[in-house]
Amino acid sequence: MPRRSYDQYCAAARALDSVGDRWTLLIVRELLAGPRRYTDLHADLPGVSTDMLATRLKDMERDGLATRRRLGAPASVYVYELTPRGRGLLPVLQALGEWGAADLAERRPTDAVRAHWLALPLLGQLERLGEAGVVEVRVDEGVFHLRVGGEPVYGDGSPGEGVVDVRLALDAEVCGAVARGELGLVEAARSGRISVAGGGALAKRLLAVEP
């Protein structure tokens, strides 16, 4: 199927030609975690049909946002991953998240949630501290990790001992306030509302201790 276009000589319109369809940017959000299997993508995109996901992934391949490749043995499975152009959408998603934070309000009974969906709002705040590192984040829904100044941007679970620079633990109330933009990560850490463990530069920046 040929790509639909707004047929407007405008950079914003051209961008929306590629990423304006339903689900595309949320697929990008998931692929910021690195290569992922189709089944994993489907599991972390509640509400998307299998046909729609397959169509969007093909569209993203066509538009140069994602590629599909087969992993070597013993896995021997196909995964999707972002191209450099696709990874360039990270600041777009961060800006959209900041803009939409005020619309979160309280979580609705029908809202799905995944732990790693907090990754992008946390990443933006951690980047402003000016220190690179790996952050393990523990919330009620699970554990994920963030790479500040590296790729992939985040991942499920812990990356392993000796890799994590700082560990954060957020309860549901604080997690919601941070996601809605009502509470800053640094403010929460320095007031003790977030548990911070680690002795590296990133932990010290969070706690206002000189590295």
Per-residue confidence at 28, pLDDT binned at 50, 70, 90? very high
Q: How far is CA 33 from the centre of its chain?
A: 7
Name the residue type at position 1: M
Beta carbons within 10 angstroms of residue 50's beta carbon: 10
By percentage, how much of the chain surpasses pLDDT 90?
81
Domains and CATH numbers, the chain: 11-88 (1.10.10.10), 108-206 (3.30.1050.10)
Residue 67 host element (H or E): strand 66-70
Position 30 confidence tier, pLDDT thresholds 50, 70, 90: very high
| Residue 202 DSSP class | H
Confidence band (pLDDT; 50, 70, 90) for 210? Answer: low
Query: What is the CB-side half-sphere exposure of residue 100 using CA atoms within 13 A?
Result: 9
Whole-model pTM: value is 0.93
pLDDT for position 157? 82
CA dihedral 71, 72, 76, 81 (to 10 degrees): 0
Q: Tens digit of pLDDT for each residue in 45-69?
A: 999 999 999 999 999 999 999 999 9
Supply the pLDDT for residue 55. 96
Q: Which pLDDT does position 158 carry in this prediction?
A: 79
- What is the spatial distance between Cα 59 and Cα 55, in angstroms, rounded to a whole number? 6
**Which residues lie across from 169 on neighbouring strands?**
138, 195
pLDDT tens per residue across span 94-131: 999 999 998 998 888 999 999 999 999 999 999 999 99
Query: What confidence score (pLDDT) does residue 111 get?
Result: 92
Cβ atoms of 170 and 176 closer than 8 Å: no
- Give the pLDDT confidence of 132-185 residue by residue, as tens digits: 999 999 999 999 999 999 899 999 887 876 789 999 999 999 999 999 989 999
